[in-house]
Structure 1
């Protein structure tokens, strides 16, 4: 692709992570077009120099690269393959980067439909949560053709640090499933460790100081356990979106004949939380499941 000042990027989806990611592109010097279902979420970016577009079609027709950060696969399919969507309105030669966690099969479908119209589509889901998005150090897992990846790598580098082409279309989404499977069981362990520390009468933050740099260390332990201790359950990543990711992973694993009992247990606990009204809480709110048990034990004087 051309120089930054000549490469117009369109960004669709300005939620918890998308807004920070778009902001980094603006700071890196790219002309930025933005669209979001809730227009007010774009106000800060527009104040900083981004240009608001009234529709997906309008944005797609004017951008050299279109990035999407949506919620669910159905949103992604509508954005890309709908009558007023990206594929039917983007100019030939445009690069399309879906950074939503979605299904590998949909990523392949978008790639194939885009190719028919001389567009270059890549699936590029991310890991790192709101912190990684704010600090431009996301892990970005990419599926697509090597030439297209090389063309957009400088754009991705404005948002992340660990950027790896995993294979053809869909490979990025499959890699993200590996990521979510690892997190799913790990979150249970992190919550149980914090619950155990509290029940044993220990200073939970002091416990963290000892265990986070050893063999038990993980991103969730270092970044989410402190939020649990502070009773901070605001979303860096929504429970409802994590359930969506785990559902995709369970379905894909089943299709491959792979048993994933840890993933399925985590999914069932999160679904229980969502039924109790926690779907819009952060994933660290799994700790609330353990807090309730702790409160019951403590009130009983066990």
Structure 2
């Protein structure tokens, strides 16, 4: 497909998350929602109105929230645990490890407003560590959708898969990037643009920016492949190895820490199978306070930053 127009309409994927969850709940009475006094910010108001007996609000008690969800899964329910990503993953990491992943419970952990989506609320509310933390938990599937269509597909997959899953639900508005015929399969990336010089591998909010970076690179005569790696775990190893063999360098881009997240996962595969230059774009440390747009630009997580990293990886000025 062609790369993305810069001025494309943008969408808040939380609405698609909520609408898809309601549709699934209508068809399957096992589906329940569990939250930490976050009904509004999780867009669960309509869910509560339609299924008042199937929304469990434990209050601001994230460890209890995950433990309760494990108990519900033991009883045959399919819990969707919805909370701000920094508090779900930071406060309840032990319960995620012991109660969900170790016991392989079918619980869907929905990290709302991940990355730097809370912007002005500052480092306490930025969720830049979650991909690193969640990747360290064995057996946990990790999905980072890039747009509304993938958010809906991720909700459907997580409900049907019987796998313990961590799903990042974007708050920062993003354009639609997913082709109508794109598959949604565990451990399979979606190729959004073909290229022979460099591969741009991105997740979530950075996918559309990687597409725009490919446009910028094309103006310099650089051909860029773009992969939407929506499953960070399990990673599409085949797609990464093919990129390393068929292009001369790889750039990863994520709204999170560069240590332990998407970039680390890709670099490991490249080092083991076919070493080529890899540049990892992300957040190097605690982020300052500011709007999400400002913070993304501050760390070079935009089309210009991705294109610049690609040129450096190729040894181009």
Per the normalisation by structure 1, the TM-score is 0.43
Per the normalisation by structure 2, the TM-score is 0.41
The structure with more strand, counted as a fraction of residues? 2
* Larger-gyration structure (1/2): 1
Greater RCO structure (CA 8 Å; 6+ sep):
2
The structure with more helix, counted as a fraction of residues? 1
